[in-house]
Structure 1
């Protein structure tokens, strides 16, 4: 692919209103028991269809409201979060949708605000102010947008419990922005745009074999917020007695938070361990519904567990070794 093709492709990517879809993180593609239809259910314009165990987005119907990205359990649907984060930073915790006038930065629709974006901004600026227009009559989102934003705020409290946000229909008064912050934000945005437009080099680094291993920006924002909190309620799983050490939980996990490792223990039979990277757990529940003996439960992790070593959830010799 030549330079011109790369530039055209990057431009289309920047102007494409549809979210990016990472199939390996989708619970449908991971064959989670019960599947998942949250993105299709929340879409106000029927732009999402679930065909052949994957998500298909109609580029004509999609309005870029972002509601699907906020509710996706495996973070398989994403818009670039950097510009939204920068807007909240420039506004010092204030942002408005594209249908509200006044000062301050805007996002196309408040539906694009994810739990991680809100938690990170709240951890830095305190109470947030989010302005929206007439959602019931809006052609971008729907009347459900305010309720969905409230849900995202509630989810954000798992990573930064003091998070508070006020939704209003009045125009934002705007926040005072210093020259350093203004030019710093502009430079950050310019760097990001330049990175998008630079074509791939002939010897670029190979992509990871499993896209689930690439920590999505949403999880990184949740981590930033959690570091600023005294305590967190980050989701984590527990495994009770009765685990057969089968690979189902690791197979359905959208972010490789759960892993099963085979170990050779001297003097004993071969053991397996199931471990968890808490910071990669989205709390999607795929492992709960898919676990054959139903011994997995969802709980909350402490801050020490989030930023500590991988947790050992279960260890033993699989019963099928006796077969």
Structure 2
């Protein structure tokens, strides 16, 4: 691909990008029992195809509304959350969609606001103000946007229960910004645009299936940061009851590698451990567990911010086979 093609591709991604897809975090690719079609169901334009047991996005139909990124249980679909977080910070918790009039920062569509982005901004600035345009006639996200944003707000309250959000269908006044913040924002925006427009150098080919589950997604980092500032949280996590055979199914289907199975040192026991802050509550392990001994519960702040917890320990019944 030549320099011109790279520049054109980068420009198109800046103006109307599609979400980045990380296959190893998709429940379909992880062969979770029951699979998942949430991204396809929520997409207002039929831009997502799941027929090949992977999420294929039609770049022509996709409008970058972001609804699929908010509902994806394994966080396999993502937009860069850094720029969104920066705009929420610059507006001190106030932001508007690209079709809403008023002042202050804007994002393409309020559907791009994930639970983590909302929780983190609220943990820092208090009540959030989101201004929307006429969703009924909007070709980006459509009439379901207010309902989906309310859903994201309720999810965000798991990570920051004190979250308060005001959604208005009127011009956004915008937060007051000083000269230093204004010029800093201009310089930062110019640097980011230049970096995104410069074509990447050719990279060596990757393995056909690179497992990126060990890399904590930005969404989970934002949720954890909000939980750190909260007094109490209701973070989803799993529990394992008696009857566990210590098979590897739960760790295999986990989209974020929150569940790990390891052999206890110096013995015949195996241990299941859970990194609570990496658990999305997707339910893949719950549905796929052969003896059906996994349940979904809630974790407190100490478990979220602490070390991995032990879910189950024992000598597998298949050990001597």
TM category (shorter chain) comes to over 0.9
1:122 maps to 2:125: no
Counterpart position of 1:220: 221
- TM-score, normalization by structure 1: 0.92
- Residues 240/185 of structure 1: CA separation in 2 closer, same or farther (3 Å cut): farther
What SS does the corresponding residue of 1:63 show, helix, strand or coil?
A: coil
Deviation at 1:201, TM superposition (A): 6.7
Q: How does 1:150-161 map to 2 (within 5 A)?
A: 150-161=150-161
Q: Is 1:177 the counterpart of 2:183 in the alignment?
A: no
Q: Which runs of 5+ in 1 are unaligned?
A: none
Moved over 3 A (4+): 1-16, 183-204, 206-209
Structure 2 SS opposite 1:211: coil
- CA distance in structure 2 between the aligned counterparts of 1:272 and 1:198, rounded to whole angstroms: 49
Ranges in structure 2 where 5+ consecutive residues have no aligned partner: none
Question: Offset at 1:82?
Answer: 1.5
Matched, 1:286 2:284: yes
Q: Is the 8 A contact 2:24 2:210 kept in 1?
A: no
- CA gap 1:25/1:122 in 2 versus in 1, 3 angstroms: same
Alignment of 1:173-322 (within 5 A): 173-197=173-197, 210-265=211-266, 268=267, 270-322=268-320
Alpha-carbon shift at residue 141 of structure 1 (Å): 0.9
Which residue number in structure 2 is paired with residue 42 of structure 1?
42
Alignment of 1:13-32 (within 5 A): 13-32=13-32
CA contact (8 A) 1:83 1:189 kept: no
Query: RMSD between aligned alpha carbons?
Result: 2.2
Alignment match, 2:103: 103
Q: Per-residue deviation at 1:81?
A: 1.2
Change in 2 beyond 3 A, CA 1:121/1:246:
same
Q: Could you report, residue by residue, the CA deviation over 1:28-49 in whole angstroms, capped at 9, with x for unpaired residues? A: 1001110000000000111111
Give the match for residue 73 of structure 2. 73
- Residue number in structure 1 paired with 2:88: 88
Instruction: Please give the alpha-carbon distance, in whole angstroms, between the structure 2 residues aligned to 1:292 and 1:49.
Output: 29
Inter-partner Cα distance in structure 2 for 1:32 and 1:217 = 23
Residues 315 and 187 from structure 1, CA distance in 2 versus in 1: closer, same or farther, beyond 3 angstroms?
farther
Other-structure match for 2:54: 54
Cα distance in 1 for residues equivalent to 2:302 and 2:185: 32
For the residues of structure 2 that align with 1:145 and 1:6, how far apart are their CA atoms?
Answer: 33
Distance of aligned partners of 1:52 and 1:125 in 2 relative to their CA distance in 1, 3 Å threshold = same
Contact 2:16 2:63 in 1 (8 A): no
Q: Take 2:191 and 2:215, find their aligned partners in 1: how far apart are those partners?
A: 21
Aligned to 1:45, the other structure's residue is in SS state coil
Q: 1:210 Cα shift? A: 2.2
The answer to whether the aligner puts 1:165 opposite 2:165 as a matched pair is yes
